[in-house]
Amino acid sequence: MKPTRVTPTGVERTFREDEIIVTKTDTRGVITYANDVFLRVSALDESDATGKPHNLIRHPDMPRAVFELLWDTVKDGRELFAYVLNLAADGAHYRVFAHVTPSFDQDDRIVGYHSSRRRPKPAGIAAASELYAQLRAEERRHASPPAELEAGRRMLHETLSGLGLTYDEFVWDLTNGVGR
């Protein structure tokens, strides 16, 4: 089994533009399926991924506030697109443009989540990374995880409000190369 605490090495891993990273989770975020691209890029074996919380690939430089927004959105039954920095089991990092959607049963109840990730464009990475660095710096100024999250949430809201954008609009502007 891979170590539970991984130290980032600063090595960046990429994947081909024609590849898609796919995972599925249950409603608690536990991985129920991972494709071969996910396993290769995350440096995990199937047994190291399946049955584990999806946050095992959470990079410490990824803002808590963005993850909270992501989970709140999909738990509410809506899809979300996001730029995400992930941490592989060997300490390498990789960046993705994620599309996360809830999965529903025949009675319209959420039974899990599906995430498809593509290789992001460099300009989108740069702009998202700038915002994320500001959010993490604000979060790290606080001593407790709840205070970190609240500070990041407040800064994300204020930043996007100042731009006159929702998070979705911010992401799509980055994806489409629109500057405001």
Query: What is the CATH topology of the domain spanning 21-175?
Result: Beta-Lactamase (3.30.450)
Q: Is 168 exposed, middle or buried (0-12, 13-18, 19+ CB in 10 A)?
A: middle
Tell me what pLDDT residue 180 has.
Answer: 47
Tell me what pLDDT residue 1 has.
Answer: 46
E strand or H helix that includes residue 161? helix 145-163
Tell me what pLDDT residue 175 has.
Answer: 85
Helices (H), 9-144: 36-42, 46-49, 64-75, 122-140
Q: What is the mean pLDDT of each run of 10 residues along the chain (180 residues)?
A: 75 97 97 98 97 94 95 96 96 97 97 97 91 96 95 96 93 76
Distance between CA atoms of residues 8 and 1, nearest Å: 18
Distance between CA atoms of residues 150 and 153, nearest Å: 5
